[in-house]
Amino acid sequence: MEIAKNFLPVTPEEVHALGRDVPDFVYVSGDAYVDHPSFGAALICRTLEDAGYVVAMLPQPDYKSCEGMKRFGRPRLGFLVSAGNIDSMVCHYTAAKKKRTNDYYSPGGKAGYRPDRAVIVYCNRIREAYGDVPIVIGGIEASLRRFAHYDYWSDKVRRSVLVDSRADILSYGMGERSILRIAELLDKGVPVKKIRDVRGTAYLCKTGEKINFECAQGTTESGEPRGYDYDDLKTDKKKYAAAFAVQYKNNDAKNGKAIVEYYGDRMLVQNPPQPPLEREELDRIYNIPFKRTYHPMYEKDGGIPAITEVKFSITHNRGCFGGCNFCALAFHQGRSVRSRSIESVVEEAKLIATLPDFKGYIHDIGGPTANFRAPACKKQIESGVCQNKRCLVPTPCKNLEADHSEYIQLLKEVEKIPGIKKVFIRSGIRFDYMLADHDDSFFRKLVRDHVSGQLKVAPEHCSSHVLSCMGKPDIAVYDKFREKFFRLCDEEGLEQYLVPYLMSSHPGSRLCDAVDLALYTKKIGLNPEQVQDYYPTPGTASTVMFYTGIDPFSGNDVYCPTDYREKQLQRALLQYRRPENRSLVREALKVAGREDLIGYSKDCLVTPNGRQQHGPKNSGQKKSAFDKKKDQKSRANKTIDRKSSKKPSSSLKKGQNYKKNSHR
């Protein structure tokens, strides 16, 4: 293979070209190698390289024998292992547990390049090849499976991935600072089994071994740290829910303590989290000269599809205090927000503008939540995030500082760069935070300058108790946002749309709630093209509810739709207009006791006989050219929340109608 200039080495020859017989680290990844800061493997490896270490990339190795792990020989300091940007099971299976046919992080988008439970498989192959070589695991799969966890695909509580993988250290969360400290200690000759005091890591030791940090649950009379036993967690759902609550409350660097979990004569110890990287540290990392594309060895396969979404996008922040229970961000990146400087983002935008295939459009300046730039309040900086309160739900905290002024300045500075025609915002927008800002300057600028025809938002549901289980604001907040969005569109002379994300079968959602959501979509004229079935993934409060039927924060019982047929009915209700769903909708309405919604009136959802509610499919009336054009536009603008508004102004800015689909 020809040496690719300025990429990390992917062959022994490239390591030799750096003057080394073997690399310091070999990074094993379930993803193809994409050298872009949106990919965790690139961030970690480039951070190590920036500190002077030689890191070889071993992307998607042959996992059917240990030979695939021997490409570079035994590394000087150890192996680093990650499943990739997505949990391998989520990557492989749908919410219905059906095998996916595509993998956007693999060559040509084809599935089959990585194993199920990739971290476990890779680590055990490394052990076969090199015995006691140091192994550090990290990334989303390891991070969210660091404790005993409910595994949706096997329908049981599995052990910590650290136990099953036989790795030495687990680095959780955003691991740049942790991995540098681990590398430093290994480089000094400290045995990997002696590395016990690095924040943001977990390790296994013998039961009774002294730990370096105060235990979250205190100690026994004999001085041993208190913690749950895996044998109890896999059988006692109340203890499982209580254990998650302890983990969630201690996932903050300011007030988090160590957590232990027992596995026979061994003890899993999670040290407290690393503090989030501050602005200067983030700027340094994002100033590293990434190649910003996939390795050229994939060109023959058609490249790596995942780069399409991020190639012309910029990450400006980390962390999220939104508090959605179905999202793992709080458990991975944490709830304390940090952001890059405006100067750093501008420099990256200037670099993007020089790329040969750049067309003048920055696709996104965002992150976990696009419109967060700072911690929710000053108290978080001094004392950490509140353990028993949320910043935005059920209502915004009185200490919340909702301020978009710096984000506005950032966007304006990027817009000034020569060659940039337009900057879009396509990451999630937290609309309740926008409404909490008494200055609507950002709202107006968002509508006028940064929407590509459609703005994606996530009300998720309309039922108050379902939204409470989700950790989302009441639907009245979305209605207020929706009304203001369309009013501002009218004032700006723009015809733009909302694309609301909706979720079926989330814990708390009964069949009657799905009926209410169907009626809500009918009321606002929404025809959802896509609906997300709730997907229980490791590391979320919603998954705890799904498995245990218990809210881990309140201890209250929660109804959870787990029956496959009921989930089908709930989903069908949200797409009741589809002909193929009509029999399911009628069944759902009968089960829910809402047969009043089966009929021919304008208030009904479906007719009794399978015909369309508003007349036959072909009314015999010839469609005008206007109607045909309208139908075409309707098919193009999928899943939109639309409101009658002024005809778009003839003075639309160039690029105003630019549209590009994106996945959630």
Q: What does the DSSP 8-state code read for residue 3?
A: P
Greater pLDDT, 491 or 633 = 491
Average of pLDDT values for 324-345?
94
Give residue 638's pLDDT band: very low, low, confident or very high (50, 70, 90): very low
What are the backbone dihedrals phi and psi of residue 279, each rounded to the nearest 5 degrees, phi first?
-55, -45
616, pLDDT greater than 90: no
25, pLDDT greater than 50: yes
Which H/E stretch holds residue 232?
helix 230-233
Average of pLDDT values for 164-182?
97
pLDDT tens string 255-269 = 999 999 999 999 999
Radius of gyration of the chain (CA): 26
Contact 513, 506 (CB under 8 A): no
Q: How far is CA 120 from the centre of its chain?
A: 22
| CA–CA dist 9, 6 (Å, integer) | 9
Average of pLDDT values for 20-26?
97
Helices 511-524 and 564-574: crossing angle in degrees, nearest 10, is: 10
435, pLDDT greater than 80: yes
Query: Six-digit token pair at 231?
Result: 């044998």
pLDDT at 330: 86
| CA–CA dist 658, 422 (Å, integer) | 9
What's the full length of the chain, in residues? 664
Highest mean pLDDT: which range of 137-151, 521-535, 612-626? 137-151
- Residue that the structure tokens 């680093």 belong to: 80
Amino acid at 412: K
| CA–CA dist 211, 271 (Å, integer) | 9
Mean residue pLDDT of the chain comes to 91
Which of 330, 309, 332, 312 is closest to 320 using CA atoms? Answer: 330
Average of pLDDT values for 540-567?
96
CB proximity list for 330: less than 8 A, separation 6 or greater = 248, 251, 320, 323
pLDDT at 87: 97
622, pLDDT greater than 70: no
What are the backbone dihedrals phi and psi of residue 175, each rounded to the nearest 5 degrees, phi first?
-100, 15
pLDDT at 5: 77
Average of pLDDT values for 388-411?
95
- Which range, of 360-364, 530-534, 627-631, averages the lowest pLDDT? 627-631
pLDDT at 163: 98
Give residue 509's pLDDT band: very low, low, confident or very high (50, 70, 90): very high
Helices 279-286 and 176-187: crossing angle in degrees, nearest 10, is: 80
Query: Six-digit token pair at 544?
Result: 């705890």
- Residue that the structure tokens 């035994």 belong to: 74
| CA–CA dist 475, 519 (Å, integer) | 13
627, pLDDT greater than 50: no
Kindly report whether the global pTM for this prediction surpasses the value 0.75: yes
Average of pLDDT values for 565-579?
95
Identify the bridge partners of residue 375 per DSSP, sorted by sequence position. Answer: none
626, pLDDT greater than 50: no
Residue 259 vs residues 37, 210, 227, 303, 340: alpha-carbon distances, Å: 31, 13, 7, 42, 31
Pairing type for strands 361-362 and 313-315 reads: unpaired
Question: Omega into 507 within 30° of 0, i.e. cis?
Answer: no
Amino acid at 643: K
pLDDT at 412: 98
pLDDT at 629: 42
Domains and CATH numbers, the chain: 12-200 (3.40.50.280), 454-664 (3.30.750.200)
| Burial class of residue 297 in the structure, from the number of CB atoms within 10 Å of its CB (0-12 exposed, 13-18 middle, 19+ buried) | middle
Q: Where are the alpha helices (DSSP H) in 211-341?
A: 230-233, 237-249, 279-286, 307-310, 329-332
pLDDT tens string 460-499 = 999 999 999 999 999 999 999 999 999 999 999 999 999 9
Give residue 531's pLDDT band: very low, low, confident or very high (50, 70, 90): confident
pLDDT at 624: 35
Percentage of the chain exceeding pLDDT 70: 91
Give residue 18's pLDDT band: very low, low, confident or very high (50, 70, 90): very high
| CA–CA dist 92, 86 (Å, integer) | 10
